[in-house]
Amino acid sequence: MNSALRVLPVDAGLRPALLALRVLDEQLPFVGRVEDSLADVALCPGSEALALVVDDDVVGYVRIDRRATALGDHPLAEGAVAMRSFMIDASRQGEGLGRRALDAIHAYVAGRHPDRERILLTVNLRNEAAVHVYRRAGYRDSGELYHGGLAGPQFVLWRPLHPWNP
């Protein structure tokens, strides 16, 4: 039986374990470094740094932004929470944690932001493993590409937060 995967706000006690997280070298251009994301969260109102924890082990990280401002006037940005920098530590990849984490993040965001309608994210076209996990977790393709990323064009994916959102 799998232990529960919990989503916890980052505090001083979790920070060292988060800074120890690593992704595969080929994934780094897509997710960046945790330390850079944590520094950015500290400067951005409405941003939350979240640890992904199984038992007492930090297995991943994600950043949530209350508004999806990076996508500007994209129609799905209104009423959305943006998910950024989602990662599972390289040593724990292949255990099904990505899908479990996405479901746990979904539940966390739906409870924390009941006024928001969807989670919105961008994922690089070349990051095929991530695209597959997002789609299996119920993320829908907007049919448009985002061209503002440093690593090339990205799919714009979204998942409704509440069952009444089609």
The answer to whether position 75 is within a domain reads: yes
For residue 112, CA distances in Å to 58, 106, 108 come to: 21, 10, 6
* CATH number for the domain that contains residue 43: 3.40.630.30
The pTM for the full model equals 0.92
Average pLDDT for 19-24: 94
Q: Which tokens is 3 given?
A: 């232990």
pLDDT at 166 over 60: no
The answer to whether position 72 is within a domain reads: yes
Q: What is the pLDDT of residues 61-98, one digit of tens each?
A: 999 998 877 677 778 888 999 999 999 999 999 999 99
Mean pLDDT of the chain: 91
Q: Which domain holds residue 48?
A: 5-117
The answer to whether position 160 is within a domain reads: no
The answer to whether position 151 is within a domain reads: no
| pLDDT at residue 165, rounded to an integer | 54
Q: At 88, which amino acid appears?
A: I
| pLDDT at residue 117, rounded to an integer | 94
pLDDT at 7 over 80: yes
Specify the 3-state DSSP secondary structure of 47: strand
Domain count along the chain: 1
Higher per-residue confidence, 24 vs 109: 109
The answer to whether position 123 is within a domain reads: no
The answer to whether position 37 is within a domain reads: yes
The answer to whether position 49 is within a domain reads: yes
Name the region of 87 (left: φ>0; alpha: ψ -120 to 50; beta: rest): beta
The answer to whether position 66 is within a domain reads: yes
| pLDDT at residue 64, rounded to an integer | 96
Q: What is the pLDDT of residues 25-67, one digit of tens each?
A: 888 888 889 999 999 999 988 899 999 999 999 999 999 998 8
The length of the chain, given as a count of residues = 166
